[in-house]
């Protein structure tokens, strides 16, 4: 992720270990769904191709692609609200992710 104090790095290769490292993220705030948080953090930090690799590790770890955030939305709902995130949404859909309406959340 880039910002005023963190320059954007282009072309940086992410190892499998670095991508898998996001699976260890734990919520600080009570009531936060750990699976939703992990997906959100990965989405915010990774390029689409790294995010797609992460989704494979996430599913292999038995995590819930359709976990709901505090507002009841799934990560797919969140990503679909960003018009330039089609590749991220496509990776989620290919892995079986659903919107809250489709998942029954």
Give burial (CB, 10 Å; 0-12/13-18/19+) of 100.
middle
> Residue 104: pLDDT band by 50, 70, 90 thresholds?
confident
pLDDT, residue 30, reads 86
Query: Per the structure block, which two tokens stand in for 27?
Result: 């919520």
Q: Using CA atoms, how far apart are residues 35 and 22, in angstroms rounded to an integer? A: 10
CA 3 to chain centre: 19
49 pLDDT above the threshold of 70: yes
4 pLDDT above the threshold of 70: no
Q: What are the contacts of 81-88 at 24+ separation with CB within 8 A?
A: 85/43, 85/48, 87/48, 87/49, 87/52, 88/43, 88/48, 88/51
Write down the pTM of the prediction: 0.85
Least confident of 1-15, 34-48, 62-76: 1-15
Which one is predicted more confidently, 12 or 52? 52
Q: Using CA atoms, how far apart are residues 105 and 68, in angstroms rounded to an integer? A: 7
Residue 74 three-state SS: strand
> Residue 33: pLDDT band by 50, 70, 90 thresholds?
very high
Query: Would you say how long the chain is, in residues?
Result: 105
pLDDT, residue 13, reads 85
Which one is predicted more confidently, 3 or 99? 99
Work out the average pLDDT over 13-40.
93
């Amino acid at each position: 992720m880039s910002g005023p104090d963190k320059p954007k790095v282009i072309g940086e290769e992410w190892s499998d270990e670095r991508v898998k490292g996001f699976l260890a993220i734990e919520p600080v705030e009570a009531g936060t769904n750990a699976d939703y948080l992990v997906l959100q953090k990965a989405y915010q930090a990774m390029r689409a191709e790294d995010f797609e690799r992460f989704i494979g590790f996430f599913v292999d770890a038995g995590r819930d692609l359709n976990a709901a955030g505090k507002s009841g939305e799934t990560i797919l709902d969140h990503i679909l609200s960003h018009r330039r995130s089609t590749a991220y949404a496509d990776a989620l859909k290919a892995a079986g992710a659903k919107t809250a309406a489709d998942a029954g959340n």
